[in-house]
Chains A and B, each alone.
Chain A
Amino acid sequence: MNALPPDRPAGLDDVSLSRRQLLRYSSLAAAAVGGSGLLAACGGGGGESGPQQKGGVLVHGATGGSAKDTLDPHRPVQNADIARASNLYEPLLFWDSDYRIAPAVAESVTPESDAKTWTIKLRQGVTFHNGKDVTPEDVLFTIRRVANPKAPTSAGGTLSQILDFDQTKKVDDTTIKVVLKQPYAILDYLLAEYTLGVIPEDFDLKNPVGTGAFKYKSFAPGKNSVFTRYDGYWGDQAFVDELHIQDFADPSAQVNALLAGQVQTIDNLPYNLIDSVKSQGSKVLVSNTGAWVPFTMRVDVKPFSDNRVRQAMRLIVDRQQMIDQALSGYGSLGNDLYAPFDPAYAKDLPQRQQDIDQAKSLLKSAGQDGLTVQLFTGDDIGSVAPATASLFVEQAKKAGVTVKKIVKTPFYGDDYLSYPFAQDFWNTRNYIPQAAVCAVKGATYNETHFDNSKFAGLLQSASAETDETKRNTLLQDAQKIEYDEGGFIIWGFRRQVDGYSSKVQGLKPSRYLPLGSYKFQNVSLTG
């Protein structure tokens, strides 16, 4: 019914089909054995330690996935894409499971003291899946593709503005000199994102190669993709022979597949299904994240232009109740500050709590007794947003504030970024990159229209400061300003919950991405 791609010989599909069938039968057998192993484990009290074994096929059930799916290393859209990109490609640096920078394809990335010139030292012996060594040319090609000034990818926005393309060049076979147009002391953060996977100069999306522990075998958007272990991997080789990533548009089908033993791992387990997954012999992996769903108050329009009103709104929120009800308890308290994993996070500022009396008196002194405001929300922000909006309506009543919840469809339409009082969502980031997109004048997503020259100055000095202690001091001063006058109500950070079969070993929580940052090379199967 549809023609084969011209570059693929017609007979190939038949051969691979039968091989696939073979593999499927062997995985069925493995599943059967695994099932009996599960029973044994339950009887024996369920100790899962022991050496990890090689072999087997790991099937990961990915949340979402649609015709939008892509294997493009620099434009992943949804969870399934991120899972694929994280196993196929690797950036120069990694965010490790504690959300700290770790070396990867690059051995080191170090700045000069002016934070304008950086040296990337490549690790030796790193090869692409086609056997070719990673060269400085490949890295330069990758950076130019991501930060293409004409069409930067989502990860390349900042990079495209600060990079001096003419001066950035190869020094020798393992060294690259990166020159920036302005000082930027956290270039390493940008280079560690999963959206910056290193690819060769002759990269072809139809037959993609990277340096990851798994190499490409097949891909059908919205359905399924198959990867095999890369034996030439520079680090510890993957345990499983094959990795399958199966898309699931429906979360209950995804959970059923886990319970039926058809998939071994699933990401983003809905909170309401945690108990049924646990009670039926599967396990859950809970990880802290820095993901937040704030309320956003525009600091340049009434009534929120009066800081007393903003502070009152922040005091109205019962943060624990939001976590308990909107996140089923899977969250940690927020203090109206983002980037909780940043070394500079201002943990010494007192935790803000619900204080209705003070909120009332602040509103009174601002002349806003019996305030009525509209709160804009929408389903496209994510399910947490409408739930917390309803909670806020109730909590505000106690302080005599009438909040009218208005559901916008779509929320991200014409009015986005001009709502006086609304919500939004953000994922884990460190302080400088986050503030750069949401808290300074001209930032892409400055929902609160925050524009504080002292704050912007501190942020700029910190961006140019290579001494981490000095930088952290600057950033803590900046956070104090946001804590005192900012427009965000950040009530908490969500915990990530994933599910996995009891025959899976080697999964550890990660702050960066679900399922131990999707590093399936660490996963082995028992039985």
Chain B
Amino acid sequence: MTDAATLLDPDHAEPASVTTTRSRRARRGGAWAWVAWLLRRLGLAVLTLWLVSVLVFIATTALGDPVRAILGKDFNADKARAAQLTAQLNLDESLPQRYLHWLGGLFSGDLGTSIANQRPVSELIGPNVVNTLVLVLLSAIIMVPVAFGIAMISANYRRRKPDTFIQTVLLALAGLPEFVIGILLVAIFATTLSHVLPAVTIATPGGHPWDDPKTMVLPIATLVLAVSPYVSRIVRATLLEVLDSDYVELARLKGIPERVVMRKHALLNAIVPGIQVVALQLAWLAGGVVIVEAVFNYPGIGFQLVDSVRNHDVPMVQALAMIIAAVYVVVNLVADLLSILLTPRARTAISS
């Protein structure tokens, strides 16, 4: 989905009219071109999600007989429950029938009923989706300025001591798995060394983890520490490239102060690859924070997905997989849109 790079390429832009008449038609045609572009991208997104739904469905049915997996030791002892599960999962229908059944449910917002506790899937997933989104968004809000700031400092001191120091620390952090960071933070701030912060999330029923803001500190810090190094290193590399370019050189020759050069000329041009990395990392966070969620007992969707797989709760697994896929698609779509808006060349390529 990350085809901002190809969009920058003029060959891939709409072949409509890259000729002389373009200035006149640009205003009206431009709006239409944008709508067309958006519709095309939305269509592609839907197509992607449909393909994902087929994959998810095949994968979950290929796991083997779910009834046997759910009942385990009691499979032969509890015939009534086996029959009830078979009926609930529509296992007596053919595969395509079951798929259509499920897809129809997805469109009408009916995600089915959890096998584990017989409640509607949407009711079970809802709060956890919100919890994860809040965790990821808060982490992003902190991570983006931190990562860009570090990259700017680092680029500013290119190959001098502060830069070397920052790069070493970032590399070390990038090498640490996020659960190690989490466990270290817990040991330092919650258990072994000091007791200033809570170690885990204890949310009251119906409440949210952020009811007690202190419990959010360590999970967010862990995610920021886990993700920032990647973003920071990519932004630094792009910044260095831009700082070496001719127009930055020209700006400097014109006597523009280095601070302004950095902010206006370099950063704005380095921001697009940054957006793409941030988007990739955010999408990863949405589904991949399960280990962090386990360390902090944070009630999010990664956690729920693992639990559901363990319970062989097929409707839950399907719904959660679709939600995570949807987050991926949406985040990438937004990132592409932002990239294009921030790249004059790509912007004009579409509207002309």
Interface residues of A (CB under 8 A from B): 1-3, 13, 16-17, 20-21, 24, 35, 59, 66-70, 150-151, 154, 157, 218-226, 244, 246, 248-250, 252-254, 256-257, 259-263, 280, 380, 410, 412-414, 416-417, 444-445
Contacts and interface: CB of A to CB of B under 8 A. Distances in A.
B198 to A, nearest CB: 6
A444 B204 CA distance: 40
Contacts of A24: 204, 211-212
B199 A17 contact: no
A156 to B, nearest CB: 12
A253 B195 contact: no
B202 interface: yes
A250 B204 contact: no
8 contacts: A66-B116, A67-B117, A67-B307, A67-B308, A221-B116, A253-B296, A256-B190, A280-B192
Contact of B73 (A70, A223, A252, A416): A416
Interface stretch (B12-20, B52-60, B121-129, B134-142): B121-129
B206 A218 contact: yes
B202 A280 contact: no
Interface in B150-187: 183, 186
Nearest to A27: B202
Contacts of B297: 246, 248-250, 253-254, 257
A503 B191 CA distance: 16
A280 B212 CA distance: 25
Contacts of B294: 249-250, 253
B247 interface: no
Nearest to A154: B74
B268 interface: no
A457 B339 CA distance: 81
A285 B202 CA distance: 23
Contacts of B310: 66
Given A1-B127, A445-B73, 17 more contacts: A1-B129, A2-B126, A17-B206, A24-B211, A66-B311, A67-B117, A157-B77, A218-B205, A220-B205, A222-B299, A226-B205, A244-B204, A246-B297, A254-B297, A257-B202, A259-B191, A445-B77
Given A221-B117, A249-B294, A416-B73, A260 B199 contact: yes
B276 interface: no
Contacts of A1: 122, 126-127, 129-130
A412 B205 contact: no
B311 A280 contact: no
Contacts, number: 138
A69 B307 CA distance: 11
A402 B299 CA distance: 47
A260 B123 contact: no
B186 A256 contact: yes
B295 interface: yes
A24 to B, nearest CB: 6
A413 B68 contact: yes
Contacts of A262: 198-200, 202
A66 B310 CA distance: 9
B306 to A, nearest CB: 8
A246 B304 contact: no
B316 to A, nearest CB: 7
Nearest to B73: A412
Contacts of B130: 1
A220 to B, nearest CB: 4
The 7 A-B pairs at the shortest CB distance, nearest first, are namely A260-B199, A220-B205, A259-B191, A256-B199, A412-B72, A218-B205, A68-B116
B321 to A, nearest CB: 15
A249 B307 contact: yes
B183 A252 contact: yes
Contacts of B295: 250, 252-253
Contacts of B195: 35, 260-261
Contacts of A220: 205-206
A110 to B, nearest CB: 31
Given A1-B129, A66-B310, A412-B73, A20 B204 contact: yes
Contacts of B191: 256, 259-260, 280
B281 interface: no
Contacts of B308: 67
Contact of A410 (B72, B123, B207, B211): B72
B200 A67 contact: no
Contacts of B328: none
Contacts of A249: 294, 297, 303, 306-307
Contacts of A224: 202-205
A413 B126 CA distance: 33
A66 B307 contact: yes
B5 interface: no
B313 interface: yes
Contacts of B68: 413-414
Contacts of B296: 253
B181 to A, nearest CB: 14
B126 A223 contact: no
B75 A412 contact: yes
Contacts of A250: 294-295, 297
B117 A68 contact: yes
A222 B304 contact: yes
A211 B226 CA distance: 49
Interface in B59-78: 68-69, 72-77
Contacts of B116: 66-68, 221
Contacts of A256: 186, 190-191, 199-200
A410 B294 CA distance: 24
Contacts of A218: 204-206
B200 A2 contact: no
B89 to A, nearest CB: 16
A67 B191 CA distance: 28
A2 B127 CA distance: 8
B114 interface: yes
Contacts of A59: 202
